[in-house]
Amino acid sequence: MALRILTIETSCDETAAAVVTDQLEVLASVVASQDRLHERFQGVVPEIAARAHVERILPVIDETLRQAKMDLNDVDGIAVANTPGLAGSLLVGVTAAKALCVATGKPLLAVNHLHAHVYACQIALRQNIFPCIGFIISGGHTHLYHCTSPTEFRYLGGTIDDAAGEAFDKIAAMLGLPYPGGPSISAAAVAGNEKKYAFPRPFLGDRKRLAFSFSGLKTAVRYAIAGTGKVDFRSLQLTEQQIADVAASFQAAVVDCLIGKAMLAVEQNNLARLCVGGGVAANATFRERLKATCQQNGTELHIAPFQLCTDNAIMGGLAIEHLKAGRQEPMDLDVLPGLVRGS
């Protein structure tokens, strides 16, 4: 009988659980999105996120087990993301996992959320993807790693200010588009001319440095739509075409930077296998252009499938690796909200 683990993910604003086997089969997956709760603030409010996790975590776990036609006694371990993320959010998942482990005597397994975003590619492929260049592009991270195994990551470079997803969310707010910004910008961009505005591509020409910066891009968009004076973005009267053109031009600038540095990481490390995860990797223009670039230069590319890009618990199937290696956590497992780059 295959080993089966229950995985729990509450690092940011999705309450999620899944059951995954050691053959990387997904037996069930539930994601309760909190987008509606954070929408009017145009970003995640940590206290609201934590409280919503408390309300949802047990129903989400129940529903996951129901879909998998299992009960808690049938699982071989309980895994939870304990780093990085919002402290209050992580705590809800970790506390739930511990309580279930105490009640059932099952082993407690810990998942690094960033490792899991890359491992999503392995789950989709159901084949080994390591060693690879791991690229995580989400609302909180824009980071490149040299990954020798599912849990051995060496930090190569990343953003020096905003994360790519954060930039999408902030630009969407400026344009009056709904939260989360990634999908709204991407939809608006379809009708836009990406050459209309020449937004900056910071660091793109620097062939040595694996770095991103999206903060200046945000300012450039602001100047393009509202000039340099004081502005209330809610009172801006932009036409649909203007919104579409800004969205397309902004998206093209971000995509150029992401692809340029991913390719530089491949080149610098002489490792022609790239694995990409995180919410921004769901972006259709990014996916198409990255695929074309990798095809041209002979890089093996794995991008997490659409539903495994944004936060989910399936990617926590990474903990199967811990279970197989006998790496179980003590009951005083803590949350580590901050990013430990190398780990």
Give backbone dihedrals phi and psi of 298, rounded to 5 degrees, phi first: 70, 30
Q: Indicate which single residue of 140, 150, 157, 316 sits in contact with ligand KG4 (rule: CB under 6 A).
A: 140
Least separation in angstroms between residue 117's CB and ligand KG4 is 7
Closest to 120 measured CA to CA, from 261, 16, 210, 45 = 16
Q: DSSP labels for 256-280? A: HHHHHHHHHHHHHHT--EEEEESGG
- Pick between residue 245 and residue 311 the one whose CB is nearest to Zn ion: 311
- Pick between residue 34 and residue 299 the one whose CB is nearest to ligand KG4: 34
Of all helices (H) and strands (E), which one includes residue 149? strand 142-149
Give backbone dihedrals phi and psi of 29, rounded to 5 degrees, phi first: -155, 130
Residue 119 binds: one of ligand KG4, Zn ion, none (C-beta under 5 to 8 A by kind) = none
Cβ-based neighbour number of residue 206 at 10 Å:
12
Closest to 301 measured CA to CA, from 281, 274, 280 = 274
Which region, left, alpha or beta, applies to residue 229 given φ > 0 means left and ψ of -120 to 50 means alpha? Answer: beta
Least separation in angstroms between residue 339's CB and ligand KG4 is 11
Residues 181-220 interacting with ligand KG4 (rule: CB under 6 A): 181-183, 186
Instruction: Choose one: 97-105, 121-129, 176-184, 222-230; the region binding ligand KG4 (CB under 6 A).
Output: 176-184
Binding-site size, ligand KG4 (CB under 6 A): 20
Residue 186 binds: one of ligand KG4, Zn ion, none (C-beta under 5 to 8 A by kind) = ligand KG4
- Pick between residue 107 and residue 214 the one whose CB is nearest to ligand KG4: 214
- Pick between residue 4 and residue 38 the one whose CB is nearest to Zn ion: 38
Beta-bridge partners for 110:
80
Residue 107 binds ligand KG4 (CB under 6 A): no
Judge whether 16 and 80 are in contact, CB under 8 Å. no
Binding site for Zn ion (CB under 5 A): 138, 311
Q: Which residues, 6+ apart, have CB-to-CB distance to 225 below 8 Å? A: 174, 175, 236, 238, 242, 246
Residue 311 binds ligand KG4 (CB under 6 A): yes
Residue 168 binds: one of Zn ion, ligand KG4, none (C-beta under 5 to 8 A by kind) = ligand KG4
Three-state DSSP class for residue 112:
strand
Question: Cα–Cα distance between 143 and 145 in angstroms, integer?
Answer: 7
Residue 180 binds ligand KG4 (CB under 6 A): yes
Task: State whether the Cα torsion 297-300-301-305 is positive or negative.
Answer: positive
Judge whether 319 and 9 are in contact, CB under 8 Å. no
Least separation in angstroms between residue 163's CB and ligand KG4 is 7
Residue 83 binds ligand KG4 (CB under 6 A): no
Instruction: Choose one: 132-140, 188-196, 197-205, 320-328; the region binding ligand KG4 (CB under 6 A).
Output: 132-140
Question: Cα–Cα distance between 65 and 18 in angstroms, integer?
Answer: 8
Cβ-based neighbour number of residue 327 at 10 Å:
13
Residue 162 binds: one of Zn ion, ligand KG4, none (C-beta under 5 to 8 A by kind) = none
Residues 228-287 interacting with ligand KG4 (rule: CB under 6 A): 278-280, 282-283
Least separation in angstroms between residue 139's CB and Zn ion is 7
Structure tokens at 315: 């990617």
Q: Indicate which single residue of 135, 168, 203, 212 sits in contact with ligand KG4 (rule: CB under 6 A).
A: 168
Structure tokens at 264: 């530089």
> Using N-to-C axis directions, what is the helix angle for 215-226 and 240-269, rounded to 10°?
160
Least separation in angstroms between residue 234's CB and ligand KG4 is 20
Least separation in angstroms between residue 163's CB and Zn ion is 10
Residue 27 binds ligand KG4 (CB under 6 A): no
State the residues that interact with ligand KG4 by CB under 6 A: 12, 138-140, 165-166, 168-169, 180-183, 186, 278-280, 282-283, 310-311
